[in-house]
């Protein structure tokens, strides 16, 4: 099977792994949050990988930069939602610290990618 270019990017691979972890983590959220926090954190994490894939596939550098910026915004949204989930004690300290570190790494990688495309 052929891999598309975006699938080879480390930032996409890390974001894909993060999305899987978000789905697993939110499975333990209160059932009344199914259409609230659970749905929001899942959609925001999916948005990261989807925008990377779509952006990298765009023909112009300006388009690429725009979609990478959207992915970055979604990463910030996930961080914000993680903070709230931690505040509500839905996730423990160890999980929070690990996922937050993963998101910080992903956001730094997205920022670098944005700078690569956004300067042209």
Residue 60 is classified by DSSP as S
Residue 2 falls inside a structural domain: no
Is 97 within the bounds of a domain? Answer: yes
Within a domain: residue 3? no
pLDDT tier, 118 (very low <50, low <70, confident <90, very high otherwise): confident
Q: Exposed, middle or buried: residue 95 (CB in 10 Å: 0-12, 13-18, 19+)?
A: middle
Inside any domain, residue 21: yes
Domain hosting residue 91, numbered range: 9-118
Q: What is the pTM of this model?
A: 0.94
| Residue 35 contacts residue 12 (beta carbons within 8 Å) | no
Instruction: Provide the percentage of residues in the chain whose pLDDT is more than 90.
Output: 97
**pLDDT tens profile 14-38:** 999 999 999 999 999 999 999 999 9
User: Is position 1 within any domain?
Assistant: no
Domain annotation covers residue 13:
yes
pLDDT at 120: 58
Domain count, the chain: 1
pLDDT at position 66: 96
Say how far apart CA 64 and CA 112 lie, in whole Å. Answer: 13
Has residue 4 been placed in a domain? Answer: no
Position 90 in a domain: yes
We report the CATH number of the domain holding residue 86 as: 1.20.1440.60
């Amino acid at each position: 099977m052929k891999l598309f270019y975006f699938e080879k990017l480390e930032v996409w691979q890390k974001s894909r792994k993060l999305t899987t972890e978000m789905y697993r983590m939110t499975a333990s959220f209160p059932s009344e949050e199914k259409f609230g926090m659970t749905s929001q954190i899942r959609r925001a994490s999916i948005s990261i990988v989807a925008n990377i894939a779509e952006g990298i596939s765009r023909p112009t550098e300006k388009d690429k930069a725009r979609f990478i910026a959207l992915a970055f915004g979604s990463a910030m949204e996930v961080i914000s939602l993680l903070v709230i989930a931690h505040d509500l004690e839905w996730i423990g300290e160890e999980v929070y610290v690990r996922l937050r570190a993963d998101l910080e790494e992903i956001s730094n990688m997205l920022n670098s990618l944005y700078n690569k495309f956004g300067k042209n």
